[in-house]
Amino acid sequence: MIPAREIAPAKLNLALHVRGKRDDGRHDIETVFAFCVDGDGLSAEEASDLSLEVTGPFGSDLGANDDNLVLRAARALSAAAKIDEGAAIRLDKRLPIASGIGGGSADAAATLRLLTSLWGLDPGLAQQLAPALGSDVPACLLSLPARGEGAGDALTAVDLPELAGTPVLLVNPRIPLSTAAVFTGWDGVDRGPLGDWRLGRNDLQASAIALVPQIETVLAWLSAQAGAEFVRMSGSGASCFALFDREEARDAAAEAVPREWWHLATSLR
């Protein structure tokens, strides 16, 4: 049997405004999500129980398999659907962990899509389960441009046809960054609502740079590349990205990325 396959696309926050802290300890944000063509890869085959094999350049950076969001998503879907079927899941971990581009959330969302197809389930079930797996999981489940409000899980689809196919370069200094630590370091100042994402900002950038100063170096380097039209940190960092005016400029920048940094040359969906 040919395994079912899914891509867990890298997530980008084109802008991220933090508006305040919620009673549940999370934060109210306003953001615009966009997604890349490339990301982690998942496959699954029918099996008697649930199992996970992790490979790829960042596979060894993950914790014990039982704590992995992929298995948590699979178990939640199986329990909600009240089925006894299993799946042998394989995760090809190509994106760095704790990097602000949705790695774990994208993997969980891709697992929901993958097993919904493999087990022949109603897609609405995955939509119901996604918020409990993480604030970014609902957006990653769609993997299409959307505006996120609340904790980021209240979604409104946005039409950004001008961005489809845009060349993008992602760069990370290879330093994991805790989302919780970055939000804890936010200064608590509400700097206003998010309108046009191009005129927006990432309110977590200062906190992230305080924890990982190399982010500032990455942003400056991306801004200096020929053809880079828009540069920003994604999510809680430490990954940053640049949108380019043409593929040749993106590829030239990718060739010049310092060896100690991770990078991904891709395009937007």
For residue 33, the Cα-to-chain-centroid distance in whole angstroms is 9
End-to-end CA distance of the chain: 29
As a whole number of angstroms, the distance between CA 73 and CA 111 comes to 7
Return all residues near 69 (Cβ < 8 A) that are at least 6 apart: 104, 105, 107, 108, 111, 133, 134
Residue 76 phi/psi, 5° resolution? -65, -40
Nearest to 24 by CA among 146, 167, 153: 153
Cβ(239)–Cβ(96) below 8 Å: yes
Catalytic residue, chosen from 40, 92, 136, 153, is 136
As a whole number of angstroms, the distance between CA 234 and CA 97 comes to 13
Q: Is 61 a catalytic residue?
A: no
Instruction: Give start and end residues of each alpha helix (H) in the chain.
Output: 69-81, 103-119, 123-133, 137-142, 179-185, 205-211, 214-223, 247-256
Q: Is 93 a catalytic residue?
A: no
Q: What type of residue sits at position 265?
A: A
Please count the other Cβ atoms lying within 10 Å of the Cβ belonging to residue 31. Answer: 24
Decide the pairing of beta strands 86-92 and 27-47: antiparallel
CA dihedral sign of residues 158, 164, 166, 170: positive
Mind telling me the catalytic residues? 11, 136
